[in-house]
Structure 1
Amino acid sequence: MSDPHLLALLRAIRLRQSAPDAAAAGEADTAAALSEIARKKKDAQVADHTPASDSGTPPYFSKHRAPEKPAGESASLLWRGDPSAVMGRSNLRAARGGIPPIGGITPSGPTTPVPPIPGLEGPRPPEPSGMDFPPQIPQRSFPTRRPKAGTGPLRHAAGRDGMDPADDAALRDTQRNLSTSITFAGGVDDVAERLWEALHQAQPALLSSLPGSAATQRGDLARALTWLVHHLADPPALVNGCARLGAVLAECGLQWNRLQLVGAALAEATRAGMPPGSWRQDFDQAWRWAWQHTYEWIVHGGTLVAYQPTIWDVEVVTHEQRREDLAVLTLRTFLPTPFRPGQYARFEVPGVPGVWRPYSLAGAPHRDERIELHVRAKSGSGVSGALVHRIRPGARLRMTKPEGDMGLPDAPGRGILMIAGDTGVAPMKAILTELAALGDARPAVLFWGVRDLTELYDIEALTELVARIPGATVIPVVADGPSGPYMSGPVTDAIAAYGDWSRHEIYLAGPPLMLAKTTASLSRLGIKQDQLHHDPPE
């Protein structure tokens, strides 16, 4: 494997496989390498009949030294690592003399054999299936190796992350242009607000497909622009982050063609905030060039949802210990999280890797990015034990795609009967929160069945919530002991005594035994099976 031409051929093949936008450069490398191999074979055949030179040097090396590379030609890989995280060299190389306009491709590459490439580390172990993709590429340097005499000029040493220093410089130049233009335009919040207004006018369906209110979407755009500028000069992090964003946008049902105008909208949102005469052509090109590559990796990430589950990182904002064995946590998601009120998601906590447990999501997806979890610890260990006893604000959790069939009925004329036991009140609180956010005045009644008064851990918040919904009522039912101002006895008796439920959609949530007993009792009351909605017990 020491032959420089064979190494050049292998390098060209690998580049073709891992970097689609380097196809033109790969073709040139391959053609040159094949040409040199053919020439070497021919010369070797001639050498069988040619005497050695007086100096003792084999004829091939004395007559066929590797041609010198043109001045200014640099190493061609942006960085080395996982093939899925390799960006093409052609677009960045053009940036040395100015950033190419959006859509422009500048194929380039050596037309002569490439000297031996530095040695690579052994194969990396496979990443965990179905989790973070593309994987983060560790920052590591690659040793350079001085070529033997007569094999060509010494290559430039790669940077600490394997990138060509010239390409690093081009990225930093683009990064400075983006940062400077945002500063001239009044700051990232002002740019994000103008960008939101432009997208709202040009592509209202784009924003309506994303969760959150107008205010929270503007905040998300501001954080996204800040992240983009800070990570533009770190291609592995940029590719990984864009791929994760693409996955969650695909889960939101976003159509990719609606994103194509964002680059122009970004440039215009920045230009519109600048004083007259401050806008420069290199600002415009920097924004369009950055979005071109960002868009490509977002779409790349969006294609992955068909092959592996999407994972969200969430941060614990608040942790309230309501009882010794029960806590209410507020979580903040870092990327758009689409869910319907009443759904649940599975969570993984630090210290218990690979174990995922389902919890209902309380919150309003049309209001903000906050999610509320109600967790009862079944033991001192495991996921529930960690969430109740050990997790504190600032901790990071991982969450799967929300699922489940519970939610508001499509027919606005249908009333809603909700029956909850224990922490099953969480999805019902989400439905009530959605009614309040939408101003929906349809009849909605929540029966919360508990064993004793101490289990009404969230009654104050629920009472305040239903006060903002004209047609909503919450009725706690205490099974044992003093009931105070609330109804007492089995919750099914209270439901039967309250009225006729034939024109209501009925939602159930709670422990499996409670679900079974309540379903049987409702059936005896004449409730039809297609009126009942609940998630399968686990």
Structure 2
Amino acid sequence: MGLDDRDALRVLHDAFAASADGSGVVAQFFSRWFGTNPAARDLFPADLTPQRVAFAHAMSWVLGELVAQRAQEPVSFLAQLGRDHRKYGVTQRDYDLVGRVLHASLRDELAEQWTPQVDDAAREALNLITGVMGGAADAEDGPAWWEGTVVEHLRVSRDLAVVRLQLDHPLPYYPGQYVKVEVPQCPRSWRYLSPSMPADETGAIEFHVRTVPAGLVSTAVVNETQPGDRWRLSSPHGGLHVDRDAGDVLMVAGSTGLAPLRAIIMGLTRWADNPRVHLFFGGRYPCELYDLPTLWQIAAHNPWLSVSPVSEYPGDPDWAAQYPDVTPPRGLHVRQTGILADVVTSYGGWGDRQILVCGGPEMTRATVAALIAKGAPEQRIQHDPLSE
């Protein structure tokens, strides 16, 4: 029965779900793969834990969708993954090897659970995964990656930086999408970043970056990036967007979660007639609302945009004096103090709006939960995929 055998597919799904921490079949797969092809190890950073966890999550999700007999989203996801993996120089031969190694790892891990039915389901599922990824990569005729030079690095707060680059060739993307970025300080460690401006035909691009705990890439970008550094960018991902014909919009941005929403807002300025957009921009301290002057300038010329600054604390710490003053000119909404989700929902449920939420996973989960509790329809809320 293969892909029609839900029970067999569920056995495969459960094997990856049980390996959510990167152990079990996932650890066995990576060890076997690197033993078979030692050169593949050079594609990854020294610490494999994030890659193992991400791989377990992806496989568990794809197989879970196949168990539910939903193929459209997994195929789209796998196609994008295949296009993105071109930056590693992966070929169809590599996909064939990965498929064989993964099949052997599953067979050994499942042991007594490995029945002829599970074997058929595994072969068909792995053929689908590697076939879609390899086929999408072969069909793509654009660059495997884009390279660019850092032209400006602005330290706007203690753990926040704005980085501007000039790409060798323009990168086509939609406002609200994100890309993977590799920086010279952390080779082979790719991190997702969202451009904070629409695609530019000259190749100019800008990112807003905040350090995260134990984040090697973000720490390097904020603390060590210098003009002249060469960055590498992947093809774009994501579908965050505003439908100009679907009514007014609520945007909620926590810290550098502002970047994709800012890009969308800047994209909307090309049109004379837009839905009303109310943006709540939050940070811990007033000084961390780093882009208020730019937002004020946009709002001053576009009456459909309203901006509400929110900080968790009413005043700034002593170290704020070392960084640029972000107090906007008069005319922007008065800054409010409190937890971002609480401030947003104090206005109501926003159920009549398109809702876009961007920020750290904790902030995003809290805001989405608060909005739903207030009556906002979950299907009208957009946010990027959340890491655990």
TM-score (norm 2): 0.57
Change (3 A) 1:368 1:528: farther
Amino acid at match of 2:378: Q
Q: Shift of the alpha carbon at 1:433?
A: 0.6
- Partner residue, 1:318: 152
Correspondences of 1:287-306 after superposition (within 5 Å): 304=138, 306=140
Q: SS state of the match for residue 240, structure 2?
A: coil
SS of 1:378's partner is coil
Q: What is the aligned partner in structure 2 of residue 29 from structure 1?
A: none
| Counterpart secondary structure, 2:184 | coil
Structure 1 alignment gaps of length 5 or more: 1-124, 131-246, 249-301
C-alpha distance in structure 1 between counterparts of 2:345 and 2:193, whole Å: 29
Q: CA 1:352–1:377 in 2, change beyond 3 Å: closer, same or farther?
A: same
1:397 aligns with 2:246: no
- Between 1 and 2, higher relative CO (CA 8 Å, sep ≥ 6) is seen in 2
2: CA distance, partners of 1:502 / 1:481: 29
| Paired amino acid for 2:236 | P
Structure 2 gaps, min length 5: 1-37, 44-85, 88-135, 317-326, 328-333
Structure 1, residues 391-441: CA drift from partner, whole Å, max 9, x if none? 1112110011110120122x5241111001111111111111111133342
Q: Give matches, 1:142-157, under 5 Å.
A: none
TM-score scaled to structure 1, two decimals? 0.42
Letter in 1 for 2:268: L
From the superposition, tell whether residues 500 and 376 of structure 1 become closer, same or farther in structure 2 (CA, over 3 Å).
Answer: closer
1:394 aligned counterpart, secondary structure: coil
Partner of 1:361: helix, strand, or coil?
coil
Q: Which has the larger radius of gyration?
A: 1
CA RMSD of aligned residues (A): 3.1
Among 328, 332, 342, the alignment partner of 2:176 is: 342
Please name the residue that 2:311 is paired with: 478
> Is contact 1:319-1:329 (8 Å) kept?
yes
Name the structure 1 match of 2:281: 448
SS in 2 for 1:466: helix
For 1:387, which of 221, 224, 227 is the aligned residue?
221
- Check the 8 A contact 1:432/1:466 in 2, yes or no: no
- 1:108-142 Cα distance to aligned partner (Å, 9 max, x none): xxxxxxxxxxxxxxxxx989999xxxxxxxxxxxx
Q: 1:305 to 1:356 in 2, by over 3 A?
A: farther
Structure 1 position 309, deviation (Å): 8.2
Deviations 1:218-241 (A, max 9, x none): xxxxxxxxxxxxxxxxxxxxxxxx
Partner of 1:462: 295
- Decide whether the 8 Å contact of 2:149 with 2:166 is kept in 1: yes
Check whether the contact 1:344–1:361 (CA below 8 A) recurs between aligned residues: yes
Q: What displacement does 1:363 show? A: 0.7
User: Deviations 1:19-54 (Å, cap 9, x if unpaired)?
Assistant: xxxxxxxxxxxxxxxxxxxxxxxxxxxxxxxxxxxx
1:357 is matched with 191
Q: State the distance in 2 between where 1:461 and 1:326 align.
A: 16
Structure 1 residues 520, 352: CA separation in 2 closer, same or farther (over 3 Å shift)?
same
Contact 1:366–1:437 under 8 Å retained in 2 = no
Matched, 1:527 2:376: yes
Instruction: Determine whether 1:505 maps to 2:338.
Output: no
What does 1:365-376 align with in structure 2 at a 5 Å threshold?
365=199, 368-376=202-210
